[in-house]
Amino acid sequence: MPTFVAANNRKMAYILGIESSCDDTSAAVLKDTLLLSNVMASQEVHKKYGGVVPELASRAHQQNIVPVVSQALDIAGVGMSDINAIAFTRGPGLLGSLLVGTSFAKGLSVAAQIPLIEVNHLTGHVLSHFIDVLSDDGKSTVPASGSKPEFPFLCLLVSGGHTQILKVKSPLAYEILGQTIDDAVGEAFDKGAKLLGLEYPGGPHIDRLARQGDPEKYAFAKPRIRDLDFSFSGVKTSFLYFLRDQMAGDDRFLEENMNHLAAGLQKTLVDILMEKVIRAVKLTGINRVALAGGVSANSGLRDRMILESKKRRWNIFIPPLRFTTDNAAMIAITGYYKWLEGKTSGLDIAPVTRSSLMSGE
C-alpha cells in the first residue's frame, strides 16, 4: 500500500478534519489555521437511553459522514482537489464510531492521493485554542479564543472521558501533571444528572438548573487525592446516598430541590477541579491556564476560572462554546500542526479506543 508524503514545502495548506469518536459526526476545513467551515451532526438517538449506545452511534456516523463532509467542503468553497491532507480522529473513543471516520478518511486519501494524518482527540481539544476565524467585518483573521496561549501553558482538559492537567510545551508535546484515577468529571456531571432524572448528556442540564439554585444549600463529599490527581466516583456515591436518604422521608424532595441539587453538585465538581489547578500553577510557576473539552462549556467552571484569574493574576484562555464539545475544527488544526512537521500516517492505520495524552501524537 502506498503512503503519501506531505508536501511540506508548500506555504499554504487546506486541511480537511473528520471527527467521529463518540456521538457527533463532524467535518471541518481549515486554510492553514483559519477556519473555513465546521459542520456537525449530533445524534439525538441516545437521549432516551441515558448514554451513548455504541451500535447506534456507529450506524448514525455511517449515515451522516458523507453529507457532513460534502457540506463542509461546500461551505468552505473548496473541492477535494484543493485539500492538501485529511486529518481524522484515531482515538480515544468508541471503536465502531472511530472505524467509520478512519475508514472514510482512508478511502478519501486514496481517491484524492493526499496524505492521511491521524489525530489524538485529546490533542484536538487542547489545540482548539489555536483556531483562527474571520473578524466580524471579514477583513482580518483573529484567534477564535480571543488570544492564543504562549508555550508552555497549563491546560485543564475536562471531557466525558478524560480529566487531566497538562503542561503543554509546544503544539505536539505534552506532560500529564495530574489526571483522574476513576471517573472523568463529565461522567460525574452525566451520572449526577441521570440520578436527577435528566436526559443524556446531563452536563448542560445541570449547568442550566444550577443557575437558579443555591450552591451552598447542599454540599457533597470531596475526595482527598494526592498530588495533582483527581477522583470523582466518591462524589457520585455521596450524591446518590444523599438523594436516597432525603427521598425516603419526602417523596417530593427531588422535584422541589432540583435547582439547589444541581448547583451543589456543580459547585462540588468545580471546587475539586480548581483546587488542583491552583496547586498546579503554584508547583510549576506557569500562570497561563487554558480550559479545554466538553465540560469547559460549564458556566460555573468558566466563571470560577475568571474569578481565580483576577485574584491570582493568571492569564486564562477559555474556548468559545462551539469549540468546547467535540468538533472537527480541532482535529483539522491538529492535522495542520502535524502536516507542518511532516507527520503523516500509513494506510494500515487502525483506531485506538484508549490512549492518554503524552506526546500529542
- 162: its cell numbers: 478524560
Angle at 14 between CA 9 and CA 20, to 5 degrees: 125
Kindly tell me which of 36 and 297 has the beta carbon lying closer to ligand KG4: 297
Q: How far is the CB of 103 from ligand KG4 (least distance, A)?
A: 21
Q: What is the DSSP string of 214-257?
A: -TTT---PPP---TT-B--HHHHHHHHHHHHHHHHH-TTHHHHH
294 binds ligand KG4 (CB under 6 A): yes
Work out which of 293, 319, 335, 360 binds ligand KG4, going by CB under 6 A: 293
Measure Cα distances from 112 to 14, 84, 107, 342 in Å. 13, 9, 9, 18
The interface with Zn ion within residues 319-358 (CB under 5 A) comprises: 326
Residues numbered 104 to 143 that lie near ligand KG4 (CB under 6 A) are none
Q: Among 75, 204, 223, 284, which residue interacts with ligand KG4 (rule: CB under 6 A)? A: 204
- Those residues whose C-beta lies under 8 Å from the C-beta of residue 206, and which sit 6 or more positions away, are 189, 192, 193, 196, 198, 262, 265, 266
In the complex with Zn ion, the residue whose CB is nearer, 187 or 326, is 326
Residues 324-353 that bind ligand KG4 (CB under 6 A): 325-326
Question: Cα–Cα distance between 276 and 211 in angstroms, integer?
Answer: 24
Among 26, 38, 43, 159, binds Zn ion (CB under 5 A): 159
Restricted to residues 7-26, the positions that interact with ligand KG4 (CB under 6 A) are 22
Residues binding Zn ion: what is the number (CB under 5 A)? 2
CB nearer to ligand KG4: pick between 131 and 286: 131
C-alpha cell at position 258 = 432540583
C-alpha span between 311 and 305 (Å, rounded): 10
Out of ligand KG4, Zn ion, none, which partner does residue 201 contact, by CB within 5 to 8 A per kind?
A: ligand KG4
Q: Which stretch binds ligand KG4 (CB under 6 A): 73-81, 83-91, 295-303, 351-359?
A: 295-303
Q: How far apart are CA 338 and CA 331, in angstroms?
A: 11
Non-local (6+) Cβ contacts of 345 within 8 A are 3, 90, 115, 116, 117, 118
Residue closer to Zn ion (CB basis): 247 or 358: 358
**What percent helix, strand, coil does the chain show, rounded to 5?**
45, 20, 35
Footprint (CB under 6 A) of ligand KG4, residues 22-81: 22
Least spacing, CB of residue 247 vs ligand KG4, in Å:
24
- Given candidates 96, 171, 192, 201, which one binds ligand KG4 under the rule CB under 6 A? 201
189 near ligand KG4, rule: CB under 6 A: yes
**Could you say which of ligand KG4, Zn ion, none residue 207 binds, taking C-beta under 5 to 8 angstroms by partner kind?**
ligand KG4
Q: CA-CA distance, 343 to 361, in Å (whole number)?
A: 9
- Minimum CB separation from ligand KG4 for residue 264, in Å? 14
Q: Where are the alpha helices (DSSP H) in 250-328?
A: 253-284, 299-312
Interface with ligand KG4 by CB under 6 A: which range of 144-152, 173-181, 182-190, 347-355? 182-190
Radius of gyration of the chain (CA): 21
Site stretch for ligand KG4 (CB under 6 A), options 55-63, 168-176, 213-221, 291-299: 291-299
Binder among 29, 297, 305, 318 for ligand KG4 (CB under 6 A): 297
Distance, in Å, from the CA atom of 351 to the CA atom of 163, rounded to the nearest integer, reads: 21
User: Which stretch, 10-18, 65-73, 203-211, 308-316, contacts ligand KG4 (CB under 6 A)?
Assistant: 203-211
Q: Kindly tell me which residue out of 19, 132, 183, 207 binds ligand KG4, with binding defined by CB under 6 A.
A: 207
Contact 172, 338 (CB under 8 A): yes
Binding residues (CB under 6 A) for ligand KG4: these are 22, 159-161, 186, 189-190, 201-204, 207, 293-295, 297-298, 325-326
Binding residues (CB under 5 A) for Zn ion: these are 159, 326
